[in-house]
Structure 1
Amino acid sequence: MNSTAASTDGRRAKGELRRRALIEATVRVIARDGAAGVTHRTVAKEAGLPTTATTYYFDGIDALLTAALTSCMEEDSARIEQLAEAPGDDVDRIRALSVQMADLLTAPGHLLAEFEMCLLAVRRPEQRTATRRWKNALAAFARRLTDDPVRVKLFTHAYDGLLLQGLLAGEAPTAEEFEELLRELLRPE
């Protein structure tokens, strides 16, 4: 590889690291201050980068919010897809998902940011595409346990509701409580 190609690859890698840092900083700002707290300045400061970095990598705040939502949904989808494909039976899958749900509520900042970004997507249709893979991953997980399309739909709608109610509760539900609810929702054979 010649030195020009190596320096181009190095700049590209550095640029991707900076972009990733800005997305992660956006999620932290939303978790702490809400979406209204997302400005070029607050995100750059949170990421430890100059303010100009946000405008270099993102066309505006909406683009930054869309990238953050997409990133969160991609990570969450990958986790659900791994659980669906993990070895074990239906009981093991439900138990693993229940533990994951309870764990999300032990440090809820990331989850809180996701819900806030999803609510923004209600008013910003261009941000809704980020949630499609998430919904598909939940449906695929449910189809591993039931072939009843109503139960699959019920699960995909109820999952986020269970987590939202967990955020609102004074004391977050335990993995065992989530497991009981998921078994009722999915009723594996």
Structure 2
Amino acid sequence: MSTRRLDPQRRDRIIDAALECIATDGVAGTSHRRVAARADVPLGSMTYHFEGMDDLLVAAFTRFAETIAAAFKDRLAGAADAEAVLEALVALVHEDLQRSAAEHVLTYELYTLAARRPQFRELTQAWMQASRRALERHLPAEVARRVDAYVEGAALHIALSPDPQAPAETRGALQRLMAT
């Protein structure tokens, strides 16, 4: 009779390891073998917990998107008036969405998959809807949509620019978007 090892966090470790692999090697460089090694689990655990690589990628990117959406929601949750919403959005763009190069890579890898594959597009759409819902607690729906698109684009430009825009520029742009 074999003894089965109790490891209730194994699936979570595999998902975390997958995110680390994607951030380091991209989706193309991520394999079951690399993820299993990084998670310190037997290779057979991969197929026990995930039907295939797509299933693992969906789980990993879902966790990532939920983490970013939660940061967005948390940042806006305490905003009591328009000025507080504005300051929360500036902090979101310049702090929360600039936490790490790894998060930038994960974002761009997910966008690339979403551009090609519907199941990942659904995931990005759910992420955008979560962001908009957080904004719509403070802004009309059409304004929330514009602000959300600006936040996403500004964060991208700040992450990739050798001379990123300053918070004052972001504040000014957001003020104009929110006033219309």
- TM-score, reference length from structure 2: 0.83
Equivalent pair of 2:23/2:106 in contact (CA under 8 Å): yes
Per the alignment, residue 45 of structure 1 pairs with: 37
Per the alignment, residue 124 of structure 1 pairs with: 117
Cα offset, 1:106, TM superposition: 4.5
Per the alignment, residue 3 of structure 1 pairs with: none
Equivalent pair of 2:93/2:151 in contact (CA under 8 Å): no
CA shift in 2, pair 1:106/1:180, >3 Å: farther
Per the alignment, residue 5 of structure 1 pairs with: none
CA shift in 2, pair 1:87/1:153, >3 Å: closer
Equivalent pair of 2:87/2:171 in contact (CA under 8 Å): yes
My pick for the range that moved more, 132-141 or 71-80, is 132-141
Per the alignment, residue 147 of structure 1 pairs with: 140
- Correspondences of 1:66-145 after superposition (within 5 Å): 66-103=58-95, 104-145=97-138
Per the alignment, residue 186 of structure 1 pairs with: 178
Counterpart Cα distance in 1 of 2:124 and 2:162: 28
Q: Where do 5+ consecutive residues of structure 1 fail to align? A: 1-9
Cα offset, 1:70, TM superposition: 0.8
- TM-score, reference length from structure 1: 0.79
CA shift in 2, pair 1:75/1:106, >3 Å: closer
The structure with more helix, counted as a fraction of residues? 1
Of structures 1 and 2, the one with the larger relative CO (CA 8 A, separation 6+) is: 1
Alpha-carbon RMSD: 2.4
Q: 2:158 aligns with which of 141, 162, 166?
A: 166
Cα offset, 1:131, TM superposition: 2.3
* Number of positions where the alignment pairs a residue of Structure 1 with one of Structure 2: 175
Q: Where do 5+ consecutive residues of structure 2 fail to align? A: none
Equivalent pair of 1:27/1:110 in contact (CA under 8 Å): no
Counterpart Cα distance in 2 of 1:138 and 1:144: 10
Cα offset, 1:179, TM superposition: 2.7
